[in-house]
Amino acid sequence: MAETELHGLLADTIQRGASDLHLIHGYPPIQRVANEVVPMARGAVDSDAIWALVQPFLETHHSDLFKKEYRVNVSFTIPNVGRFRMNLARAQGTVSASIRAIPSRIYPLSSLGLPPIVGTLTQKRKGIIFVTGSTGSGKSTTMAAMLDHINREGYPGKIVTIEDPIETLFVPSKSFFLQREVGVDSLSFEAGIEDALRQDPDVICIGEVRTAESIRAAITAAETGHLVLTTLHTPDAAKTAQRIISMFPGNEQETIRDQLSNTLEAVISQDLLPRADKRGLVLGIEVLLATPAARQLIRKGDIQQLYDILQTGTSIGMISKDASIKSLFQRQLITREVAMATMRDPRLLS
């Protein structure tokens, strides 16, 4: 019964075009629609009810991990409804669940509002590409589209993914996939990357690099001649470089700057912004390419000057977040208020 009830809640979530369903003790189920949280017209749920709703979707090892660590990430598919990623956690001693809808299909790069240079980047055979942005900015969708572009339009090869949990299930075309889940197939992202280097990959996709150790492992994978795609929760290219370097103690930062400057291929940073016509969201994008000048700035630690590189690199496909957002405003796709709240330098709107 509980399983069927969650089916209904998630089917309603999909029908409303919501991105997320939240189950919190003492509240009715809550959906996120176009970046706004909207309570459903239902009664409040308590902790026991939430557990009863989600428990049928947990394997034994998921339940054991939740009881031990009070948190677990899982993904699951409901036939004729969709595929979902769930974070289960405790809050004030109660069970809460945040369930995100994973797109039912992999979108072509050309349909996502991404500049053509992103497709060009998928032709790289080595180096590291970061896809960055806040939670809910479409990072997973972009990375899935890039991997599928390699799979369908690129070179035959082996693609290894390391995820927590596995989100998109890929169908082999030119490439074939080895998809591994942290906590199920590998003890950690770091261990998964280390394993991948012994699995003869062409491309390694890392769901997220959260620690200095996982960053180091990802850079090492790129240094050894593989194309690495991964994500970070950073708003733009300069802050991405800053975040990576700051993860390491001072006596290691020069080495990391040197390694990053040698392996970086691009940083793709994105936001999903509410449309002015209130008909969903629209993509704001930044693309920094690792030109010799950009590599030199990273090597020297002059990270703030990467903003200047973005301004001068438009002829080769670069675009700054501010330029992208300004264009959205000029095309009346977003409001002035949204543009000013999102831009690094709102004065550019004048």
Check whether residue 178 and residue 326 sit in a common domain. yes
Check whether residue 57 and residue 146 sit in a common domain. no
pLDDT at 324 over 50: yes
Check whether residue 296 and residue 330 sit in a common domain. yes
Q: Could you report the per-residue pLDDT of 102-113, keeping only the tens digit for each?
A: 998 899 999 999
Residue where a domain stops, chosen among 59, 87, 102: 102
Placement of tokens 């620690």 in the chain: 211
Check whether residue 274 and residue 340 sit in a common domain. yes
Domain span including residue 94: 2-102
Check whether residue 125 and residue 268 sit in a common domain. yes
pLDDT at 140 over 70: yes
Q: Number of structural domains, the chain?
A: 2
The model's pTM is 0.91
Check whether residue 90 and residue 115 sit in a common domain. no
Residue where a domain stops, chosen among 87, 102, 117: 102
CATH of the domain at 235: 3.40.50.300
pLDDT at 1 over 70: no
pLDDT, averaged across the chain: 96
pLDDT at 70 over 80: yes
Check whether residue 223 and residue 317 sit in a common domain. yes
SS3 96: strand
Are residues 37 and 26 in contact, defined by beta-carbon separation less than 8 angstroms? no
* pLDDT of 181: 95
The residues near 182 (Cβ < 8 Å, ≥ 6 apart) are: 162, 163, 164, 165, 188, 189, 192, 207
* pLDDT of 2: 60
Check whether residue 183 and residue 52 sit in a common domain. no
Check whether residue 247 and residue 330 sit in a common domain. yes
Please, which pLDDT band fits residue 3 given cuts at 50, 70 and 90?
A: low
Check whether residue 237 and residue 118 sit in a common domain. yes
C-alpha 114/C-alpha 139 separation (Å) is 12
Secondary structure of 250-282 as H, E, C letters: HHHHHHHHHHHHHHEEEEEEEEEEECCCCCCEE
Check whether residue 65 and residue 123 sit in a common domain. no
CATH of the domain at 20: 3.30.450.90
* pLDDT of 37: 95
**Best CA proximity match to 243, nearest among 229, 255, 258, 257:** 257
The DSSP-derived string for 101-137 is: EEPSSPPPGGGTT--HHHHHHTT-SSEEEEEE-STTS
Check whether residue 225 and residue 301 sit in a common domain. yes
Residue where a domain stops, chosen among 45, 78, 102: 102
